[in-house]
């Protein structure tokens, strides 16, 4: 037996599996909701997790529920309906939303859950599935003082860099800023690498010179690991998710009445790749698409520079 709160987890995919595993290994009773991909579900069940069929069942059994889903419509669907979280919520329930979501939706859901006596802590993620498995993700957390104190030990199971950025909703706002920067980096790095190849500077040279300068950073290294080294698993984050996040950031800017020319240009790049049927490509693959727009093949350019 344990006196630790029972934790639920919905969304045990690329990121969620590692997070849930680390919560379980932290000594917390874990309840998961299965999905069509049974491999991560069966993995967690073999470690001692229990499975429920609906979010309502989970809300009835858990003190804290984690969500790690793709977008706000998915999150809203988990809350609503006869089998949703709200239908089973008890006073004191805390939902830790680790998704990247529309802050307007987050605040509306927080108001609905408050009517049931529960609270939302938004704790979106930074980094990759590798860090999720290692328990060293970044987390930017929006929460009231009491809820933050309760969930911090759980978040510490899966995050190595935790920043509380404000009250509920602030975490999702901060995450949109982070992903706007990273996806704009991706578009810029792709443009610059393609331009370099066009004027005779090999992609390997761009990787070496920029990577060893003060302009280098972890995201650049990961991006160029695919662009040059052709490591397809360097950053397993889809164009579809990236495009969604940039749309949310642009919507947030529109609501705030802010001029965001770079954000708009970034959105167009990712929307284009989605529109031509490559939504499931990973983010660094955008370099291949921008190369093709310019009549080039990036893989061939890399071979030329070898």
Catalytic residue numbers? 175
SS (H, E, C) the chain: CCCCCCEEEECCCCCHHHHHHHHHHCCCCEEEECCCCHHHHHHHHHCCCEEECCHHHHHHHCCEEEECCCCHHHHHHHHCCCCCHHHHCCCCCEEEECCCCCHHHHHHHHHHHHCCCCEEEECCEECCHHHHHHCCEEEEEECCHHHHHHHHHHHHHHEEEEEEEECCCHHHHHHHHHHHHHHHHHHHHHHHHHHHHHCCCCHHHHHHHHHCCCCCCHHHHHHHHHHCCCCCCCCCCEHHHHHHHHHHHHHHHHHHCCCCHHHHHHHHHHHHHHHCCCCCCEHHHHHHHHHHHCCCCHHHHHHHHC
Q: Which of 57, 47, 53 is nearest to 17 (CA)?
A: 47
Find out whether 194 and 298 touch, Cβ atoms under 8 Å. yes
């Amino acid at each position: 037996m344990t006196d630790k709160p029972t934790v639920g987890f919905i969304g045990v995919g690329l990121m969620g599996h590692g997070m849930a595993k680390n919560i379980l290994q932290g000594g917390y009773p874990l309840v998961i909701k299965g999905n069509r991909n049974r491999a991560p579900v069966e993995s967690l069940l073999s470690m001692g997790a229990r499975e429920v069929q609906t979010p309502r069942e989970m809300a009835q059994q858990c003190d804290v529920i984690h969500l790690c889903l793709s977008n706000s419509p998915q999150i809203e669907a988990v809350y609503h309906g006869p089998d949703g979280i709200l239908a089973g919520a008890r006073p004191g329930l805390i939902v830790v939303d680790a998704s990247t979501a529309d802050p307007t939706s987050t605040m509306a859901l927080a108001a609905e859950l408050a009517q049931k006596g529960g609270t939302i802590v938004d704790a979106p993620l930074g980094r990759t599935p590798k860090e999720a498995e290692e328990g060293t993700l970044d987390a930017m957390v929006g929460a009231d003082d009491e809820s933050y104190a309760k969930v911090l030990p759980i978040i510490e199971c899966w995050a190595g860099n935790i920043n509380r950025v404000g009250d509920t909703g602030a975490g999702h706002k901060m995450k949109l800023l982070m992903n706007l920067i990273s996806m704009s980096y991706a578009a810029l790095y792709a443009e610059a690498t393609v331009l370099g190849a066009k004027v005779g500077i090999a992609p390997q040279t761009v990787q070496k010179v920029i990577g060893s300068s003060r302009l280098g950073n972890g995201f650049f290294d990961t991006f160029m690991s695919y662009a040059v080294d052709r490591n397809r698993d360097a950053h397993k984050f889809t164009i579809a998710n990236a495009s969604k996040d940039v749309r949310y950031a642009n919507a947030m800017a529109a609501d705030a009445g802010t001029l965001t020319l770079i954000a708009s240009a970034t959105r167009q790049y990712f929307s284009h790749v989605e529109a031509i049927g490559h939504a499931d490509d990973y983010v660094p693959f955008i370099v291949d698409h921008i190369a093709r727009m310019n009549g080039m093949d990036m893989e061939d350019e890399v071979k030329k520079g070898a």
